[in-house]
Amino acid sequence: MSPSPRIAAILVAGGSGVRFGTGTPKQFLPLAGRPVIRHAADALAREVTLLQPVGDIALLSAALAGIDHLPVTAGGATRQLSVRAGLEALAPHAPDIVLVHDAARPFVPPGIVVALVAALRNHPGAIPALPVADTLKRVRDGLIETTVPRDNLFRAQTPQAFDFPLLLALHRSAAEGATDDASILEAAGYAVALVAGHDDNIKLTFAEDFVRLENTLLRAMVPRVGTGYDVHAMQTGRKLILCGIEVAHDRGLAGHSDADVGIHALCDAIYGALAEGDIGRHFPPSEAAWKDADSARFLVHAAGRIAARGGVLANLDLTLICEQPKITPHAPAMIARIAGLLGVEASRVSIKATTTERLGFTGRMEGIAAQAVATIMLPFGG
């Protein structure tokens, strides 16, 4: 092996998720605001030279948009065939080491790849594993037959690491039925090393695993809070657009875009939490491209910035300040629209209104103001 080996990773996403009980394969379901597989892909992309996704081409392409990876390879009927397809796709790139990781394991523990690569200096394969702590029972027809000794029993995890040429050669000749890639080396008589696994390296198998995974991801994040404030004057002859919906009124708001004061304040709050300036930095009002633009585009961009930083939107709270129109009748539609643009549950969005008791420009109905607070969870150092 070379002093600085070229490391590739196969991200296996061919499973149908039958045991999970959803129409969408579990690896593509949203977890803390992003597809399960995206968490795993982002972690692996920081560790490897080549990332080879294997599975449904359309679903993978959408879930991994914006991340560097090789062209998606279609998966096979079994996990073993999917890994084989990934190995064949990597063959022209001739990596030294290949990691094989299940897309249903979104959390790749820090340091695990370093430990696996170190183990490969002396062995052709290495896997992370945890010793079995619980008492094991062999059961037949709902009754215990016997207690199984747990001495020297370990729970295998992924990513598993191998000498690439060896794993490719063994896959090409292996019989079907392997449940992981280490077993292929074992069957051929090769020694596979163990490195310490991690309790947080949870495989999403059942619905209750979602709660454990969300707790794991959020533990590794810190809250960031941003505020936003915006004002627009009333103007005759324009539609009134507030929080992405049209509200019946005798006047609209003046501005270069559609002047959606609610969305503008929300964007500033999000950008503030990310320490990425304000809406004018991203969409300068001096540029003709944004004249009469739908402000929904701005909020979608802000949501994209959260995702790009590996963050999760925890909560948005918006207050619209005006005498007219009355906001309460429109609040449910506004909340649904904002939540849809951000790709979050409606329960994470609060929209309410107040007046200034007819004081100031809002009291004189010369304009509408909005103030917002955004809470975002970001990875440490993110």
d(CA 242, CA 294): 11
Taking only the tens place, the pLDDT of each residue in 304-337 is 898 888 788 999 999 999 999 999 999 999 999 9
Residue 380 binned pLDDT confidence (cut-offs 50, 70, 90)? low
pLDDT of residue 291: 86
pLDDT of residue 162: 98
Helices (H), 243-329: 261-273, 279-282, 296-308
Taking only the tens place, the pLDDT of each residue in 172-200 is 999 998 989 999 999 999 999 999 999 98
Question: Is the separation of the CB atoms in 161 and 97 below 8 Å?
Answer: yes
What would the mean pLDDT of 351-356 be, rounded to a whole number? 96
Taking only the tens place, the pLDDT of each residue in 244-272 is 999 999 999 999 899 999 999 999 999 99
Task: Return all residues near 4 (Cβ < 8 A) that are at least 6 apart.
Answer: none
pLDDT of residue 33: 67
The verdict on whether omega for the bond into residue 223 sits within 30 degrees of 0, i.e. cis, is: no
Q: In the chain, what are the domains? A: 7-219 (3.90.550.10), 221-379 (3.30.1330.50)
- Of 351, 379, 343, the closest CA to residue 220 belongs to 379
Taking only the tens place, the pLDDT of each residue in 211-236 is 888 777 777 788 999 999 999 999 99
Question: Is the separation of the CB atoms in 174 and 117 below 8 Å?
Answer: no
The residue assigned the tokens 């295998």 is 156
Count of residues in the chain: 382
Residue 17 binned pLDDT confidence (cut-offs 50, 70, 90)? low
